[in-house]
Amino acid sequence: MPIETLLERQNPDGGWPYKRGGSWTEPTVYAILALLGAGERDASGRGLRWIVSRVRADGGWAARDGVDESAWVTGLVALLPPQRLGRERYEGAIRWLLRTMGEETTFTYRLRKLLRGDSGALEPGFAGWPWVPGTAAWVGPTSIAMLALRRAGRQGASKALAERLDEGRRFLVSHMCQEGGWNHGSVHVLGYEAHPYPETTGLALAALGGVKSAEVDRGLAVAQRFLAECRSADALNWLRLGLAAHHRMPEGYCAPALTCRTTAETAVDLLVGQADNPLLDGGPAEERV
């Protein structure tokens, strides 16, 4: 059973590993979210104490102990309930997300390109989020950051938050593959059109929940095709979440038996079936890009 698996894998320090070994922020957050939804207060409380004790001075979180830099996992932490994380820490995480962007859309980077005569190599200047500050934006961390900011917006959206979300939506739409769906990053690789992947397609669609556009419709069609073909737990988890965010899960769909090898896969599979799912909750009923 997924819950028992999560309880068995919890480390003595309160965090979770990907499979075994030391605790990491990503699997710990997913496990906490799944266990909170299942009513497992003791284990989720110990996990929360692990997370709370690792907030960094800049308001972000590192991927694990021993890594001296805040990273994309700050977006995952910001999906935790503010009252459990602590209001000051929660707001610090949101501020970190609002000021973080891919290096390719910073003023300094784009000016350097222009001065070198490389303006033709510049991609559309819509600001996504990187895995690590000072690097380029990617679909995965952008989608996670948007899920967190959309959820934060339900508690009172500021102008800065609304503008940053709009930038994120435009980043995702502009980085859609030609055939629909999403790759991890660039739509062109070494002169060739990049092909979409199921997990990143589902993740981007979850982040674009409520958005109505022809591009999103193309992405949904690709996601439904992937759903019928994939047998990867990670891919099927995110495809189901992405389609559910747009109320486009096929009627009567029955997921195949999944082999969840990692803590994150086990936890997200559990979250898919929960009514109050923080990976889907948030944002206006309908938006357009």
Are residues 142 and 194 located together in one domain of the fold?
A: no
In a domain, 55, yes or no: no
In a domain, 127, yes or no: yes
In a domain, 158, yes or no: yes
Is a pLDDT exceeding 50 seen at residue 99? yes
Are residues 143 and 188 located together in one domain of the fold?
A: no
In a domain, 162, yes or no: yes
Higher pLDDT, 169 or 288: 169
Are residues 197 and 216 located together in one domain of the fold?
A: yes
**pLDDT (tens digit, 9 = 90+) per residue, 229-260?**
998 999 999 999 999 999 999 998 888 887 88
Residue that finishes a domain, picked among 128, 153, 175: 175
Phi and psi (nearest 5°) for 212? -110, 120
Is a pLDDT exceeding 70 seen at residue 199? yes
**All residues at 6 or more sequence positions from 39 whose CB lies less than 8 Å from its CB, including other chains:** none
In a domain, 60, yes or no: no
- Token pair listed for 267: 């936890």
In a domain, 36, yes or no: no
In a domain, 258, yes or no: no
pTM: 0.91
- The whole-chain average pLDDT of the chain stands at 89
Total structural domains in the chain?
Answer: 2
In a domain, 141, yes or no: yes
Query: What is the predicted pLDDT for the residue at 154?
Result: 84
Residue 197 sits in which domain range?
183-248
Residue that finishes a domain, picked among 175, 202, 226: 175
Residue that finishes a domain, picked among 175, 199, 228: 175
